[in-house]
Structure 1
Amino acid sequence: MVKLVLRDISKKFEDTTAVDYVDFSIDEGSFFTFLGPSGCGKTTLLRMIAGFIKPDTGRILLRNKDITHIPSENREIGMVFQNYALFPHLNVYENIAYGLKIKRITKKEIGNKVEKYLNLVRLEGYENRKITELSGGEQQRVALARSLVVEPKVLLLDEPLSNLDAKLRDKMRIEIRDLQKELGITTIFVTHDQTEALTMSDKIAVFNKGKCIQIGTPREIYAAPTNTFVATFVGETNLFEAEIIDDEAKLNNGIMMDIKKSSTGSYLSIRPQDIKISKEFKNMRNTFKGKVEKIQFNGVVVEYIVDVVRTKFKVSALNNIYIDTEINVGDEVSILIHKNTINVLNNA
């Protein structure tokens, strides 16, 4: 069942197009991420869904009901802001209960609901804590509970992890995703962080310059980017301009590579981990000799920069017992690239 539909949504601020005729739907109960760089329109679109900004064109439908011009407080949509927007003069209980008090339900029902969502976000016993006494992760849980306690049909999350340190960010990614699965609530998550998008989402919409460039599962977005922008923004890649001749590609340095049949475009995208590196030179298709210029040890992964006829290839290999630890800077090596790992793309 389709939960939320965006039909030809656009928004301009003076001469700047923030959202450029976005048109897609979001499934019931899914975790859907808007991914893109700063200024690409993802937060503007989120705020239009919330009702804080009115679109210039288009319609927003929630369960077949047009909510485009319905006030934000009547849309049954909850939102967690980037800075959490908690009330510092209220304690944890009062912050979570705030939306329920506006609905004027009984004090007993408010108490039951606040207790339920305090337990869900694992803040039992924090009812009387001041907001200033909480850590960043605890404040985020309060903001989540405050949005969820009114039991919205859709939950909007506007870069809620950006103010947390790296270790806590990893932990909260798991907690938010687990909570969303438990509740089954349709969730739209805005981020510029590719790791957050890839690890948390059922589907991702990649934005650039107000346009929705590609929608797909994390695996689809990563493995089959639609153009050079998506390939370079989502994950690392080797990107080379090339001339496509039937089922071969010719790089600027004259290297010829086998590619998948019927590939069209003028750029090759090859993920670093899809390139095999070895000191054994084998007479195989798409095997090229080069020299190791740099090696970077990152713990789990070892990264190599290999020069092949004045073209730099980045190669990543897992650091395990099978890795050829005898490869050093200055060594001659061979790299192997299977044609099925090469994406032929048009420039963004």
Structure 2
Amino acid sequence: MSEIRFEDVTKIFGRSVEAVKDLSFIIEDGEYVSLIGPSGCGKTTTLRLLAGTILPTKGQIFFNDQPMENVRIQDRNIGFVFQHFAIFPHMTVRENIAYGPTVRGRSRKEIEHLVETALKSVQIGDKAELYPDSLSAPDWQKTALARVLASEAEVLLLDEPLGALDQKIREEFQLFLRDLVKKEKLTAIHVTHDQAEALTISDRVAVMNKGKLIQLGTPADLIYHPNHLFTSFFVGESDFLEGVVIDDTKKEAKVRIGQSIIKVKNMGVEKGKRVAVAVRREFFQVEQISTKDLSNSLPGIVIEDQFLGLLRRVRIKLENQQIIEAKIHAKHPINFKENEKVRVNIEPSITRCFDYPKEGIASALEM
């Protein structure tokens, strides 16, 4: 297995286009890490830097403390799996898998052992003599994965590897892929636009924006403990309540929002400071105004209650004229009517309170 370390890595294309900027992070031996972020944020550039197809403008990348600056692609012990199936159409599955150890000069006996072991690992031994045009999409990807295993790679780079699969198959393949990586003791770096995929398959997830690493944490960290405004915005769905801190002395700070005061988790906010309180839309609790007093709630008026399948989206205008969206279960006992007065309950422990950005929330969240 391999530990991967980025130290202040920047890649500039042309004279001034910073594709990635000052990346510093560590991927542990055997860890499965996904990179997510908006298009153009630097995910694929980071993968290419790891592969060695491009070199950093400054900074260094290490595999097990060895700098990669002068190490050729073929000597990095890396395997690749892409969205568009990169296997040879004129070769059988067996021949495709044998290609890597063959070009590495392995003996015939070694090649046969590596191929058989890889076929067994990815569960396509019964398709070994077939050509790619006879395979299903999942079996194409299994062939590509088996080729990586037979090449004895220690690091697996995956660029949208499940993008061409149907949703149902894709969900099943996620578990297969994670189990394979763990069983084979690989270190995996996975680029995807599918957040659910990243959160399901990964030990940790890196959130990127504008070439910078915003947060690297476990899936639960990103959902429940985002440490940056952008993470709250990009991972899942959150609304940002604008307010002012009126008490910062306790574990739960008090924030005035409109004419109401709510308690929020104190993340080091200061009294008198303007803040943005992030709340995930699934965490809002909407109740009719006649319900017993809700001590940590905001009054509002329903704009719309829309059915979304398993969930409903309730759009609410708060007393400060801010519009929020609550995601509630489709079986919620109350069907809210347009212009109905409600209260939105907020559990302090699930809030995240950030200093209000000088440039405004919209500008701070630009992608």
Instruction: Give the shorter-chain TM-score range.
Output: over 0.9
Residue pairs, 1:6-85, within 5 angstroms: 6-14=6-14, 15-85=16-86
Shift of 1:228: 2.1
TM-score, length basis structure 2: 0.88
Residue pairs, 1:193-342, within 5 angstroms: 193-246=194-247, 247-251=253-257, 253-261=258-266, 262-263=268-269, 266-279=275-288, 280-309=290-319, 310-320=321-331, 323-342=332-351
Identity level (%) = 35
TM-score, length basis structure 1: 0.92
SS in 1 for 2:11: strand
Structure 1 residues 179 and 329 mapped into 2: Cα distance closer, same or farther (>3 Å)?
farther
Distance 2:265 2:221 in 1: 17
Identify which range, 278-287 or 213-222, moves more after superposition: 278-287
Q: Stretches of 4+ moved more than 6 A in 1?
A: none
Listed one character per residue, the Cα deviations across residues 169-211 of structure 1 (whole Å, up to 9, x for unaligned) are 2111111111112222111111122111111111111111111
Distance 1:11 1:139 in 2: 33
Equivalenced residues, count: 345
Q: Which amino acid in 2 is paired with 1:120?
A: S
Q: Which residue matches 2:4?
A: 4
Q: Is contact 1:6-1:61 (8 Å) kept? A: yes
Distance 2:118 2:334 in 1: 52
Q: Once superposed, what is the RMSD of the aligned Cα atoms?
A: 2.0
Shift of 1:13: 0.5
Q: Which residue matches 2:360?
A: none
Distance 2:307 2:149 in 1: 43
Shift of 1:256: 3.2
Distance 2:307 2:264 in 1: 31
Q: Which amino acid in 1 is paired with 2:269?
A: S
Distance 1:327 1:273 in 2: 16
Residue pairs, 1:186-197, within 5 angstroms: 186-197=187-198
Q: Is contact 1:258-1:285 (8 Å) kept? A: no
Q: Which residue matches 2:352?
A: 343
Distance 1:88 1:330 in 2: 61
Shift of 1:326: 4.5
Q: Is contact 1:121-1:141 (8 Å) kept? A: yes
Distance 2:102 2:66 in 1: 26
Q: Which amino acid in 1 is paired with 2:318?
A: V
SS in 2 for 1:49: helix
Distance 2:18 2:188 in 1: 25
Q: Is contact 2:94-2:129 (8 Å) kept? A: yes
Q: Is contact 1:54-1:69 (8 Å) kept? A: no
Shift of 1:49: 0.9
Distance 1:297 1:326 in 2: 10
Identify which range, 17-26 or 129-138, moves more after superposition: 129-138
Residue pairs, 1:133-148, within 5 angstroms: 133-148=134-149
Instruction: Give unpaired runs (5+ residues) of structure 2.
Output: 248-252, 358-363
